[in-house]
Amino acid sequence: MVFSENNNIKVKKLFIIDSISSANKRGRPFLLNDAAKEVFLLRSCMESDPLSFREDCLRLRDEYELNVWHIRFEDMTFKKGTYSVAILSIPALFDTLLKKKYNKCERIKLELQKSNPDMWLIKYIAWNESPFYFVWQNSRIIPEMGLFLFLQETPERELLITGTCTLIMDKNQSN
């Protein structure tokens, strides 16, 4: 299960992402170790092995209903070495996230029509509800709508997925 909760813990699947232009400027892609230096929660994140990384990326592809050709796996060479990454089509992902945004808006609209709308549920639907979470070069953990905002602003056509990890948190910790 990608996102699950039991009585005391939350499990979140995180994707470490980067743009190709940023990776080229840096001489290597943004990695989990880079993010963990700045975000304390990521220090306890269990990094996926190469097989799990591939499976995680394929789950992302399936969840967002992307075609097989919208994600590919490559070894990319930068100034500071060669790295195994997944390359994701931004236009395809953006279109899917746009549909999810409209769906969320419809669900929020229905909740607002109630005589006593649950404002916490509205906040959760609008921002926190996400099958996956993402971390990019500014070391923020963001849900899919945060990624949607990031994709709106980038001129890139492809996104690098440089790693995945599983974050296990106490249920009382913030999102």
Domain holding 147, by residue range, is 4-170
- Residues 118-145, mean pLDDT to the nearest whole number: 84
d(CA 47, CA 166): 7
pLDDT band at residue 161 under the 50/70/90 scheme? very high
User: Which of 151, 142, 140 is CA-nearest to residue 40?
Assistant: 140
Q: Has residue 88 been placed in a domain? A: yes
Q: Has residue 92 been placed in a domain? A: yes
Domain count, the chain: 1
Q: Has residue 36 been placed in a domain? A: yes
Q: Name the range with the highest mean pLDDT among 10-14, 60-64, 142-146, 166-170.
A: 60-64
**What pLDDT shows up at residue 141?**
82
pLDDT band at residue 175 under the 50/70/90 scheme? very low
User: Which of 140, 132, 135 is CA-nearest to residue 159?
Assistant: 135
Q: Has residue 131 been placed in a domain? A: yes
Q: Has residue 175 been placed in a domain? A: no
| Residue 130 CA to its chain's centroid (Å) | 9
**What pLDDT shows up at residue 4?**
45
pLDDT greater than 80 at residue 171: no
Question: What's the pTM?
Answer: 0.81
- Residues 60-71, mean pLDDT to the nearest whole number: 92
**What pLDDT shows up at residue 168?**
72
**What pLDDT shows up at residue 27?**
92
Q: Has residue 126 been placed in a domain? A: yes
